[in-house]
Amino acid sequence: MTTLRSGQVTMEAMAKKKAARKVRVRFRHNRQARRRDDDWTRRYNADEPALDDTARTESVRAKGDLSRKRTIIVDGDDLPAVDEAAWQSGIVVKVHGLICYVHTPEGAAWECTIRRVLRTMLIESRSPVSVGDKIWFSDQSETHDGANIGVIERVAPRTSNLSRRDRRKREHTIVANADQLLAVVSIAEPRLRPHLVDRYIVSALKGNLRPILCFNKIDLLQDELTADQEELPGHALAVHEVIEEFRLLGYPCLCTSATRAIGIEELRDTLAGHRTVLSGQSGVGKSSLLNAVQPDLQLRTQDVSSETQKGRHTTTLAELLPLDVGGYVVDTPGIRSFDLWSVEPGELEAHFVEFLPFIPQCRFKDCLHQGSEGCAVEAAVENGHISERRYFSYLKMLSDV
């Protein structure tokens, strides 16, 4: 039976009761040595797992000192059922080591650890708690001098997922539950690389996010861009063509300057009421743009190295920030777009919107459009229906998956 601390059985618990079963989870190795009344601050500073089982609600059956496993009762989801009477809901705004910073719908700030059994399960399913996750937590403030300290008991299923892969090619969520991805690139310093934009679009679509493109530092070209378009100098013309190409594909494109306040109104309107994650290379101006939209955010920014034209990785933690205009944004550290990657080769074509009309006409069903005979996508490139740049970008991505 699902055990609820309050003794009250919720609708969800009722629905899941049948599926409840016992599982064996491992004890932490140093468990026997633990002191229950450890000092919170010391453990917090040491980044140790803290408080995660000080108020256990599962039934525990340990077999003496030698037991390395305990039996707990969970529902069919492998997670304890939501205890609406005893828990509060919130959203994770920042994750630092084992501490999750949580805001409640009323705007209260809490610091939470994750209950051990939940953490074990999340690690096993490779989905640790991330910024943007909606969670349920239990209140531990009584044992912590009234400070807002809690333990995360349950994570809600995600509606979207911006993820990256680690060196072992495993997927990690950077931000959960956003509805749009603002891919920020700079037209110079660091220089514009359209292939990266293609990658951000694929990552967004794969994670169920609406891609929006933001071409920042437009001031660096402003003088050229205001000239008659026919007389645009080489670099400005190239930038103009890149932006036009993405516009024609149907992606919303913003041209902004954080330093000269160009396009900021439009950006604010785009963000209002949405849950937006910003991503882009270090130094493109993500934090600067957010400061321009809402100056009281006071996010730290730093100049781009004049030698390498690279950013200095100023933002180091993804952080969810509520906006005055409604909704929230997540400022992220510059994400190397090559990390943003967990797409299967066969999946890739679906994220190139202009390929879609041609794919059914390829001679072979599983065609990867790499120059095979009877490939309708390649024919479309030759006939000018698909741009060569986008097609080569596709091939480059394909070679990386």
Ligand X SMILES: Nc1nc2c(ncn2[C@@H]2O[C@H](COP(=O)(O)OP(=O)(O)OP(=O)(O)O)[C@@H](O)[C@H]2O)c(=O)[nH]1
Residue among 120 and 314 whose Cβ is closer to Mg ion:
314
13, 318, 319 from 133: Cα distances, Å? 21, 13, 12
Residue 48 has which token pair? 């140790």
Of ligand X, Mg ion, Zn ion, none, which one does residue 258 interact with (CB within 5 to 8 Å by kind)? ligand X
Among the residue ranges 55-63, 143-151, 282-290, 351-359, the one whose residues contact Mg ion (CB under 5 A)? 282-290
How far, rounded to the nearest angstrom, does the alpha carbon of residue 206 sit from its chain's CA centroid?
12
300 near 287, Cβ under 8 Å? yes
How far, rounded to the nearest angstrom, does the alpha carbon of residue 71 sit from its chain's CA centroid?
34
Residue among 237 and 264 whose Cβ is closer to ligand X:
264
110, 142, 257 from 147: Cα distances, Å? 8, 8, 42
Rounded CA gap, 366 and 345, in Å?
A: 10
- The full 3-state SS of 160-212, as one line of letters, equals CEEEEECCCCCEEEEEECCCEEEEEEECCCCCCCHHHHHHHHHHHHHCCCEEE
Of Zn ion, Mg ion, ligand X, none, which one does residue 263 interact with (CB within 5 to 8 Å by kind)? none
Binding of residue 214 to Zn ion (CB under 5 A): no
What is the distance between the terminal CA atoms of the chain, rounded to a whole angstrom? 45
CB of 356 to Zn ion, least distance (A): 12
Of Zn ion, ligand X, Mg ion, none, which one does residue 369 interact with (CB within 5 to 8 Å by kind)? Zn ion
CB of 280 to ligand X, least distance (A): 6
- The 8-class DSSP code of residue 7 comes to S
Size of the site for Zn ion (CB under 5 A): 5
Q: Which of residues 359-388 bind Zn ion (CB under 5 A)?
A: 362, 367, 369, 375, 377
Residues that bind ligand X (CB under 6 A): 216-217, 219-220, 257-259, 280, 282-288, 301-304, 311-315, 333-334
Q: Please give the torsion angle defined by the CA atoms of residues 320, 217, 324 and 147, in that order, rounded to the nearest 10 degrees.
A: 30
Q: Which helix (H) or strand (E) holds 92?
A: strand 87-96
Q: Which of residues 184-203 bind Zn ion (CB under 5 A)?
A: none
Of Zn ion, Mg ion, ligand X, none, which one does residue 362 interact with (CB within 5 to 8 Å by kind)? Zn ion
Of ligand X, Mg ion, Zn ion, none, which one does residue 367 interact with (CB within 5 to 8 Å by kind)? Zn ion
Phi, psi of 258, rounded to the nearest 5 degrees: -70, -35
- Identify the residue among 57, 315, 342, 393 touching Mg ion (CB under 5 A): 315
CB of 98 to Zn ion, least distance (A): 47
CB of 268 to ligand X, least distance (A): 15
Of Mg ion, ligand X, Zn ion, none, which one does residue 329 interact with (CB within 5 to 8 Å by kind)? none
287 near 258, Cβ under 8 Å? no
203 near 212, Cβ under 8 Å? no
CB of 83 to ligand X, least distance (A): 39
Q: Which helix (H) or strand (E) holds 112?
A: strand 109-114
- Identify the residue among 2, 281, 287, 342 touching Mg ion (CB under 5 A): 287
Residue among 180 and 288 whose Cβ is closer to Mg ion:
288
Residue among 149 and 255 whose Cβ is closer to ligand X:
255
Binding of residue 205 to Zn ion (CB under 5 A): no
Task: Name the nearest CA neighbour of 331 among 265, 286, 272, 283.
Answer: 286
CB of 302 to ligand X, least distance (A): 5
Q: Which amino acid is at 216?
A: N
CB of 255 to ligand X, least distance (A): 10
- Spatial neighbors of 62 by CB under 8 A, at least 6 apart, are 27, 70
Task: Name the nearest CA neighbour of 320 among 162, 122, 202.
Answer: 162
Residue among 219 and 354 whose Cβ is closer to ligand X:
219
Of Zn ion, Mg ion, ligand X, none, which one does residue 211 interact with (CB within 5 to 8 Å by kind)? none
Residue among 113 and 301 whose Cβ is closer to ligand X:
301
Among the residue ranges 74-82, 256-264, 269-277, 358-366, the one whose residues contact Zn ion (CB under 5 A)? 358-366
Residue among 79 and 243 whose Cβ is closer to ligand X:
243
Residue among 70 and 369 whose Cβ is closer to Zn ion:
369
Of Mg ion, ligand X, Zn ion, none, which one does residue 242 interact with (CB within 5 to 8 Å by kind)? none
3-state DSSP assignment of residue 255? strand
- Interacting residue ranges for Mg ion, rule: CB under 5 A: 286-287, 314-315
- Interacting residue ranges for Zn ion, rule: CB under 5 A: 362, 367, 369, 375, 377
